[in-house]
């Protein structure tokens, strides 16, 4: 039988269940993964989606029939697969999740030995080609590998807590919205070791997503967390996406904090503990982070956004931390991988020894480095994206101090800069504008650029 591989994307497999993500696909992935990546031991786990357990069973069957031992974490978050693969020195890891996609979706994320990511530039399309190969014998075989059910939680929690000095944390009141996703059990476990009073929202895992898909990047998903922070007089709010590889921050006034400012806050924490360390950031919006890093004697390096690129640069530069606008945060001592749990712990440690409220810290950064946030414009086709980029480059390129194309088009001037990049999968063009201490200039240039893009 032919198989639907339309869910293979740039960084993972993701699609609707059962049309494109199903047991047959998972089984075939399991059969070919050990061969492609020379894997003898592989960690697997799944999120809380209703289809995830049966997909996980099919994946495990394929892996064991290929002679691979499976270390099954059961229900978990994506970063727990990363941690298990590194901590147990396994040959790979596969997480069954569709992250923040709607309920009817599912998918898979992959790492190989040393927890190195598998994406379209490094192995993902090899998996696609292999599972499409109808000349292979896909009939079931006798399993020669073994399935081990493992509990990674104690070691995982210990690693998370190693990022903060627990005895110096203040007994803050904190709002945490896990959105009925996979983060709930982790919050319950961490709570045992922390002095915080945690006000939990939608903390029970529920694959029906009765309160909406957990995706705090959507404005409509933020109100509940924001209101709870104000109502409970909490020091901050934290919200997670479905597989909690990203976390999102709200100050004590319930205001959402843009991802680029969160990168700056985390860079500050790291550099206070590790003078001279290297921080990785992306060119969409980085002046605030660069200012903080340089003022504290650190070094910053720009990387193309996207987890394969950020992780590669983090390794190459021996960076201690890297962060993106989309709220992915990468940590050297977490196997160069992203975690949604480490960031909020570190921010609360910063608040514990800083006499300022989170809103006061943010007010300073908003004044010194105003940003537009990422503004998406839909265009008629993917081809149109390059046409617009060329037009903008012709208009602004000759007058800029610096023009570079690490990730899309970036042009910098004395007081302002912008980044323009296209989506790889959808007809959208994305604009970010930032200035040095001039909100009015940021708004003027933002509107000026949008008028050209949308003309």
> By C-alpha distance, which of 96, 156, 118, 95 is closest to 36?
118
Give the burial class of 94: count Cβ atoms within 10 A of its Cβ; 0-12 exposed, 13-18 middle, 19 or more buried: buried
Q: If DSSP codes are grouped into helix, strand and coil, which group holds residue 48? A: coil
User: Residue 155: CB partners within 8 Å, gap ≥ 6?
Assistant: 83, 87
379: its two tokens: 């265009």
Residue 99 annotated among the catalytic residues of the structure: yes
200 vs 190: CA distance, rounded Å: 13
CA separation (Å) from 387 to 151, 207, 398, 429?
Answer: 52, 42, 18, 11
Parallel, antiparallel, or unpaired: how do β-strands 375-378 and 402-404 relate?
A: unpaired
Catalytic site residue from 99, 221, 285, 419? 99
> By C-alpha distance, which of 94, 107, 99, 109 is closest to 62?
94
CA separation (Å) from 246 to 99, 302, 326, 330?
Answer: 10, 20, 8, 10
The distance of Cα 253 from the centroid of its chain, to the nearest Å, equals 25
Helices 358-368 + 287-295 axis angle, to 10: 110
Q: If DSSP codes are grouped into helix, strand and coil, which group holds residue 390? A: helix
Q: Tell me how far apart the terminal alpha carbons of the chain are, to the nearest angstrom.
A: 48
Catalytic residue IDs: 99
């Amino acid at each position: 039988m032919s198989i639907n591989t339309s869910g293979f994307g740039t960084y993972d497999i993701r699609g609707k269940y059962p049309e494109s993500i199903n047991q047959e696909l998972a089984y075939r992935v399991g059969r070919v993964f050990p061969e492609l990546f020379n894997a003898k031991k592989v960690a697997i786990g799944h999120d809380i989606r209703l289809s995830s357990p049966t997909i996980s069973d099919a994946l495990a069957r394929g892996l064991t029939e290929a002679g691979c031992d499976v270390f099954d974490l059961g229900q978990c978050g994506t970063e727990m697969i990363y941690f298990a693969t590194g901590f147990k020195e396994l040959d790979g890891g596969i997480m069954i999740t569709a992250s923040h996609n709607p309920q009817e979706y599912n998918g898979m994320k992959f790492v190989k030995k040393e927890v190195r990511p598998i994406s379209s530039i490094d192995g993902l399309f090899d998996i696609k080609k292999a599972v499409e190969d109808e000349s292979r014998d896909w009939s079931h075989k006798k399993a020669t590998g073994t399935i081990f059910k493992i509990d990674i939680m104690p070691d995982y929690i210990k690693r998370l807590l190693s990022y903060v000095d627990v005895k110096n944390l203040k007994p803050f009141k904190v709002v945490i919205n896990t959105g009925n996703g996979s983060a709930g059990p982790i919050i319950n476990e961490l709570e045992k070791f922390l002095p915080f009073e945690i006000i939990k929202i939608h903390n029970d895992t529920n694959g029906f997503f009765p309160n909406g898909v957990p995706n705090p990047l959507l404005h409509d998903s933020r109100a509940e967390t924001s209101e709870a922070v104000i109502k409970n007089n909490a020091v901050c709010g934290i919200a997670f996406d479905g597989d909690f590889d990203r976390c999102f921050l709200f100050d004590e006034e319930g205001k959402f904090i843009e991802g680029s400012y969160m990168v700056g806050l985390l860079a500050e924490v790291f550099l206070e503990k590790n003078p001279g360390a290297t921080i990785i950031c992306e060119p969409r919006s980085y002046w605030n982070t660069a200012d903080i890093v340089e003022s504290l004697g650190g070094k910053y390096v720009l990387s193309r956004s996207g987890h394969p690129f950020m992780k590669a640069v983090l390794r190459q530069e021996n960076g201690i931390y890297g962060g993106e606008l989309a709220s992915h945060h990468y940590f050297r001592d977490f196997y160069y991988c992203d975690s949604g749990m480490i960031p909020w712990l570190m921010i609360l440690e910063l608040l514990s020894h800083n006499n300022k409220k989170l809103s006061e810290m943010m007010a300073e950064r908003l004044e010194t480095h105003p940003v537009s946030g990422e503004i998406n414009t839909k265009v008629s086709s993917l081809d149109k994206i390059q046409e617009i980029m060329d037009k903008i480059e012709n208009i602004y390129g000759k007058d800029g101090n610096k023009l570079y194309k690490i990730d899309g088009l970036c042009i910098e001037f004395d007081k302002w800069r912008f980044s323009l990049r296209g989506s790889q999968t959808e007809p959208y063009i994305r604009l970010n504008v930032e200035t040095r201490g001039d909100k009015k200039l940021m708004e003027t240039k933002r509107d000026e650029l949008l008028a050209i893009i949308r003309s």
